[in-house]
Structure 1
Amino acid sequence: MTVTTQRPDVRPTFSIGEVVEVKPAEEILAGLDERGELDALPFMPEMLPFCGRRFVVDSIAHKTCDTATWTGLRRLEDTVHLTGLRCDGQAHGGCQAGCLIFWKTAWLTRVSGPTQDRNGSTPIPLQLRAPEPSTPGVSPPPSACSGCTPERLTEVAHGACRPREAGSDEPVYSCQATELTRAAPVGIPLWDVTQYVRDVRSGNAPARQVLRGIAIGAFNRMQDLTRDKLPERLRIRGGRRYPFIRGTAHRTPVESLGLQPGEWVRVKSLEQISATLNAENLNRGMAFDREQLKYCGRTARVLRRVEHIIDESTGRMQTMKTPCIVLADVVCTADYHRSCPRRVYAYWREIWLERVPTPLTASRAAGDNP
C-alpha cells in the first residue's frame, strides 16, 4: 500500500467569497525572515491588528500592477486580497495612500461555513477570536525562516533594510508597495493567455471584461507603434491610446474647494476636466487616468484629503504641493489595465469635483432628519 503525504511547503488555496481567519500574530511572525517577509512580501505592522479576525476573500492577487517602476503587470503566487483591508499608514509616517493589503495564503486559515459574494450581500462582521490551543506533543511544521518580532517589523518599516543617503536623516520607508518588484519579480506580457484564464476562473473578472481588455490592450499597443513609426496624418486619433482623452489647457488651472471628509461631490464631465489638463493629460503634475472616466457625472462621498504619500520607487515621503481628494469606494477597476485586482484609490484634483447636497438616502442612513 502506498501512502501519500502532503509536502510541508504546500500552501492552501482560497476562492473569492470564502471566509478566512488571519492566523495569530506569533504564528505568522515565526514564519517570517529577518526582514519580516515571506517570499519577499513584507508583513507590515499595520497588519497585526487583523490577526485572529475573520474576513472575506475579495480577489485572488495572482498579478498586480507595478506602481514602483511602471514596468506593467507582475506575477504573484499564493496571495489574495481581503475585503476592505487597507493599510492605514500608521507605521509608515502616516502615509495616506490607503493601499489594499496583500495577504500570503500561508498567513490565513479557512473557516468552515457558507461563502459570501464579493459584493458583500451578507457581510461577515469583523470579530476577534482567541488562537487555537496547541496540541500537546505536536510541534509546528518546520520553517526555513528565522522568525521576526513586532519591534523588528517597525524597524524594517522605517527603513532598517534600505540604504539611506549619506548625511541624510530623512526616513526611507519600506512597505509592500516599495518591495513589490522583489515580491513579484516576473513580468507578465500582454500576450500571456494564462493570466486571462486565471482572471475568469478565479472570479476576479467576468469574461466579457477580460475580452474587452484584451482588445483594448492590443489596440493601444498598435497605437504606440504607429506613434513611433508613422507620420501623424496616418495615425488614428494622433496615435493616442483608447479611450481618447485630450487635455486642452496650455497652463493648468488650480481650484481649492476646501473639501472635508464626509462631504458629497459630483465628478465633473470629461469636457470640463479636459479643459484643466495639458497635452499629457496632467494637472499640476497629476494625471487624469483612463480608469477615472467611468466616474464622470457620478456622486460620491469624500473619504479624505491626501497631502503626503510614500514614493514607491524611493521609499521617501512625498508632500503634495496641491493636496488631492480620495472618494469612498471610488477605485481603479482595471478596465484598461488587464483586470489588475489591486483596486488602488483614484486621486482627484478639487477642480475636477463640485459640491452637491448630501443624498437623502445617505442622510437617513446616518440618522439625520430628511
Structure 2
Amino acid sequence: MAFLHDSKAVLARRLVEVRSPREILATLDQHGQLDGLPFMPEMLAFCGQRITVARRASRTCVVGHGFRRMRSAVFLHDARCNGSVHDNCDRGCLLFWKEAWLKALDQDRIEDEADHAADLKAARVLARLPTRREGGYVCQSTRLAAATTPISRWDLRPWLGEVWRGELSLRAFIGTVWGALRRRVLGRPEAEALAGSAQRPSRGELRLAPGEWITVKSPDEIRDTLDVRGRNRGLTFQPTMNGAIGSTFQVAFPVRRMIVETTGEMIELSHTVALEGVTCQGRCVAHCPRQEYLFWRESWLRRVQADATGS
C-alpha cells in the first residue's frame, strides 16, 4: 500500500486521503500497531478525509533516546491528536501516519468497492483499540521508542535527505551541524537557557481562556518565576521559547493534563496554556519535525486588552 517515493518532487502540500477503517484495520497486528506504531482511536475521525502532507516523518526525537528513524511515515498538515480517548490528554501531538494508512490521489489505481457494513465493523474495532497497558497509557508518543530504530549521533544522512527533498534548508542544516559541534566537542549549549533563584515560584493567576491575547514577558520577568534549573514548579522554560519573548499571541487552549512520554503516566497541570501557532520548531534539538506545542505558565505571560490588539 505504500505510495511515497524518494524523488526530488516536493512531498509537502501533496493531497492524500486517509484510508477507510477496514483498509487500516487490515494493516494492523494483534496489538493495533504497524511496525510498532499504534493506530490510535482518535485517528478514526480522519478516515475518508483529504489532507495535505506536511512532510516525511523519517526521523523523530524520542525523549530519553535521542533521534530515531521511522520507516514509511509522514505528518499530515495540522492533523493532531485531540486526546478524547486518552482521558482528554491536552498535549495535542502531531500524529504519525504510516503510508499504508493513506491513499495518493494523483496515482492511477483500482478503487475498492465501498463496503459500509465492513467499515462500520472495522470502525468499532479501531474505536476499542487499547489506550492503557500495565498501568500506563498507550499512544504514539509512549510507543515511539518501540516504533523506531536508532540513528548514530554522527550519521548525517537523514538530515541530508531532508535537504535534498526540500524539507530542511541548507542554512538550517549547517546550523544543526554547528550546534552539534558546539555541544559535543566544545561542550557549549546551543541556546541560552533562562534560570532564576525562586524557591516556590508562582504559576500565575490569569485563568486565561481560548482566544484571549497575551504578551510573553521579558527575560528578567521570566527569570523571577524560575528556579535554578530554569523550571517553574517542574515545567521548564525551554530555550526554544526565547524567540517568543516580547511577542503577542492568542491563547489556543488551557493545558490541564497530559501523558508523559517516558512513563505513560498522566500528570495534572494548572495555570498553563498553549499558544496559537506556537510550536517547537526543533532549533534546539537538531530540527526535530514533531512540532509539539510549547506549554506556558501564566506567570510568564501578560494579558493584553482587546483594544490593544486592534480587535
Provide the TM-score with structure 2 as the length reference. Answer: 0.88
Percent identical: 35
Q: CA deviation at 1:313?
A: 2.2
Give the aligned partner of residue 366 of structure 1.
none
Matched, 1:175 2:146: no
- Indicate the SS of the match to 1:21: strand
Matched, 1:13 2:13: no
**Given that residues 45 and 91 in structure 1 are in contact (C-alpha distance below 8 angstroms), is that contact kept between their aligned partners in structure 2?**
yes
* 1:29-78 deviation per Cα after TM superposition (whole angstroms, max 9, x unaligned): 111111111111111111111111111111111111113xx221111111
- Indicate the SS of the match to 1:102: strand
Distance in 2 separating the partners of 1:277 and 1:261 = 25
Distance in 2 separating the partners of 1:82 and 1:361 = 31
Give the aligned partner of residue 259 of structure 1.
208
Matched, 1:332 2:280: yes
**Equivalent pairs, count:** 298
Deviating more after overlay: 58-67 vs 189-198: 189-198
State the AA in 2 paired with 1:278. D
Deviating more after overlay: 86-95 vs 149-158: 149-158
State the AA in 1 paired with 2:20. P
- Indicate the SS of the match to 2:282: coil
* 1:254-288 deviation per Cα after TM superposition (whole angstroms, max 9, x unaligned): 12111111101011122321222222111111111
Distance in 1 separating the partners of 2:104 and 2:242 = 38
Q: CA deviation at 1:315?
A: 2.1
- After TM superposition, list the pairs within 5 Å mapping 1:314-353 onto structure 2: 314-320=263-269, 322-353=270-301
Q: CA deviation at 1:190?
A: 3.2
Matched, 1:193 2:156: yes
Give the aligned partner of residue 176 of structure 2.
213
Provide the TM-score with structure 1 as the length reference. Answer: 0.75
Q: CA deviation at 1:360?
A: 7.9
Gaps of 5+ in 2: 115-120
* 1:202-258 deviation per Cα after TM superposition (whole angstroms, max 9, x unaligned): 32221101111211121022354xxxxxxxxxxxxxx6x232224122324212111
- Indicate the SS of the match to 1:326: strand
Q: CA deviation at 1:27?
A: 0.7
Distance in 1 separating the partners of 2:162 and 2:243 = 21
* 1:273-304 deviation per Cα after TM superposition (whole angstroms, max 9, x unaligned): 12222221111111111111111111111011
* 1:146-205 deviation per Cα after TM superposition (whole angstroms, max 9, x unaligned): xx944444444332xx224xxxxxxx3211001111101x22233211022022123222
- Indicate the SS of the match to 2:256: strand
**Given that residues 46 and 87 in structure 1 are in contact (C-alpha distance below 8 angstroms), is that contact kept between their aligned partners in structure 2?**
yes
- After TM superposition, list the pairs within 5 Å mapping 1:33-52 onto structure 2: 33-52=29-48
State the AA in 1 paired with 2:80. R
The structure with the largest alpha-carbon Rg is 1
**Given that residues 57 and 81 in structure 1 are in contact (C-alpha distance below 8 angstroms), is that contact kept between their aligned partners in structure 2?**
yes
Matched, 1:244 2:192: yes
Distance in 1 separating the partners of 2:307 and 2:49 = 33
Give the aligned partner of residue 28 of structure 1.
24
**Given that residues 64 and 340 in structure 1 are in contact (C-alpha distance below 8 angstroms), is that contact kept between their aligned partners in structure 2?**
yes
Gaps of 5+ in 1: 1-8, 114-130, 136-147, 165-171, 225-238, 364-370
**Given that residues 62 and 78 in structure 1 are in contact (C-alpha distance below 8 angstroms), is that contact kept between their aligned partners in structure 2?**
yes
Distance in 2 separating the partners of 1:35 and 1:80 = 21
Deviating more after overlay: 9-18 vs 49-58: 9-18
The 1:66/1:317 distance shift into structure 2, 3 A limit, reads: same
Distance in 1 separating the partners of 2:35 and 2:79 = 21
**Given that residues 204 and 341 in structure 1 are in contact (C-alpha distance below 8 angstroms), is that contact kept between their aligned partners in structure 2?**
no
Matched, 1:100 2:94: yes
**Given that residues 245 and 274 in structure 1 are in contact (C-alpha distance below 8 angstroms), is that contact kept between their aligned partners in structure 2?**
no
State the AA in 2 paired with 1:51. C
Matched, 1:82 2:31: no
The 1:353/1:190 distance shift into structure 2, 3 A limit, reads: same
**Given that residues 60 and 202 in structure 1 are in contact (C-alpha distance below 8 angstroms), is that contact kept between their aligned partners in structure 2?**
no
**Given that residues 3 and 103 in structure 2 are in contact (C-alpha distance below 8 angstroms), is that contact kept between their aligned partners in structure 1?**
no
